[in-house]
Structure 1
Amino acid sequence: MRSAISCLVLPIALLSLSACVSVPATDPSFSTEPPRQVDRSSIIHTVEVDIQAPADALLDWIITVPLEDVFLAYRSLPGVATSEVLTDTWGTPGTRRRVRLEDGHQVVEQLLSVVPGEHFSYQLWGFTNEAGLLAEYAIGRFELESRPGGELTRVTWTYSFTPKGPVRRIPLSLFVRTNWRGYMSAALERLGAEADSHFAAAAQNTRQNDDGLARKEENL
């Protein structure tokens, strides 16, 4: 009976505490190694979008796109304000950056793997907001699949949250099923629109340059 009551009371207490998590007075160093990935039941959500761009170029663009252009506020979730690279560079496995949210909270992100034109993955931990009460870490993964013709790419984005123990799985699952799934859908829709605009402009510039070269050759 006591165990059953705890399973009901603790999630409610954690959700109540989430509103009281204060912004850190100083920036965390985020210098420690990421949490060891454990074989614990994760909470997973996946979204997809088709983008008019070749997979190789699109993957490189997604890895380096400014987060603040894509991750805007959604319901009670703040958008990304800035990101700061904590290693010499960003874009290869092992590189790391600080992600600062609009409400002042932070999280650290590290690239785990990058396979050109196919997929990349990353790990987040050190959440200073309420997510830190519930999740040990999260794994994000983008998978890219070229569609027939090679100029259209299916992008599949998956997030896996590992809870801090079985009881915290309950409120974490609620968070993912409500706010986070909408946050992901809105961000991926925005990412698709930004990518379509970027690659359409690049294609237009290429056509204009080709036309200019053709006219020069005609005048020779």
Structure 2
Amino acid sequence: MNIPLLITPADRTVPITVQQRTTKSPAEAFRIIVPIDLSSVFKPVAPFPGVTGVLNQTEAWDHVGPSRNPQFGDGSQANEQLTEYTEGSSFAYQLTGFTNALAQLAVGVRGEWTFAPDGEGTLIRWSYEFKPRPGRRWIVAGPFAVLWRRYMRAALARCVETVEAGA
């Protein structure tokens, strides 16, 4: 499936990456995180709302192409589509159509999760690459990035707790 990508090499984006280790294998961590209940790990971290649910998921989140609409605690939503999927090692998606304040800052986001062997466990790396709106890069790269990184760290920690529990 050929999906038009949000971000091209010519774009000046704002990448934010967090990482954490787990004792589980890459395949096991991947198997647990890919279909994870978003509302169980993406909780509110001020000033950002948590995910309360997902609507309109077109099919299983296990190959390139499916889409869905994450719903946020402030009543807003976004469009999400799976753009890359490599069983056991990585997946990527893009988020567009935000109906909250993020719509004023960014055209969209490319998210990517990678699961790399790390000794007997896994290094999980989660990146968000924001495509800022014209004139808004300084906000996204400055004050917004500091707050967003905190949100990502909290969500990734909950994902790793879930992986460690073997859920």
1:154 aligns with 2:154: no
| Structure 1 counterpart of 2:148, from 174, 180, 193 | 180
Residue identity matched to 2:156:
L
Partners in 2 of 1:123 and 1:139 — Cα distance? Answer: 4
How much has 1:37 moved relative to structure 2?
2.7
3-state SS in 2 of match to 1:183 = helix
Partners in 2 of 1:197 and 1:41 — Cα distance? Answer: 39
Pick closer, same or farther for the CA change 1:52–1:85 going to 2, 3 Å: farther
1:118 aligns with 2:51: no
The equivalent residue for 1:210 is none
Higher relative contact order (CA 8 A, sep 6+): 2
The equivalent residue for 1:98 is 69
Seq. identity, %: 29
Q: Which protein is bigger by CA-based radius of gyration?
A: 1
Partners in 2 of 1:88 and 1:115 — Cα distance? Answer: 17
Pick closer, same or farther for the CA change 1:55–1:164 going to 2, 3 Å: same
Higher strand share: 2
The equivalent residue for 1:41 is 12
3-state SS in 2 of match to 1:143 = strand
Normalising by the residue count of structure 2, what TM-score does the alignment of the two structures yield? 0.91
Counterpart contact for 1:118–1:143, Cα < 8 Å: yes
How much has 1:56 moved relative to structure 2?
1.3
Consecutive unaligned residues of structure 2, counting only runs of 5 or more, are none
How much has 1:53 moved relative to structure 2?
1.2
Consecutive unaligned residues of structure 1, counting only runs of 5 or more, are 1-32, 200-220
Partners in 1 of 2:5 and 2:107 — Cα distance? Answer: 7
How much has 1:68 moved relative to structure 2?
0.5
Runs of 4+ more than 3 Å apart: 33-36
3-state SS in 2 of match to 1:91 = coil
1:164 aligns with 2:129: no
Partners in 1 of 2:55 and 2:166 — Cα distance? Answer: 23
Bigger drift between 33-42 and 44-53 goes to 33-42
Bigger drift between 119-128 and 37-46 goes to 37-46
Provide, for residues 164-185 of structure 1, a one-character-per-residue CA deviation record: whole Å limited to 9, x for no partner: 12x1112222343221010001
Pick closer, same or farther for the CA change 1:88–1:119 going to 2, 3 Å: closer
Partners in 2 of 1:63 and 1:85 — Cα distance? Answer: 17
The equivalent residue for 2:105 is 134
Counterpart contact for 2:6–2:110, Cα < 8 Å: no
Counterpart contact for 2:32–2:166, Cα < 8 Å: no
How much has 1:34 moved relative to structure 2?
6.2
Count of matched residue pairs: 164
Partners in 2 of 1:58 and 1:144 — Cα distance? Answer: 7
Normalising by the residue count of structure 1, what TM-score does the alignment of the two structures yield? 0.70
Pick closer, same or farther for the CA change 1:175–1:95 going to 2, 3 Å: farther
Partners in 2 of 1:51 and 1:36 — Cα distance? Answer: 31
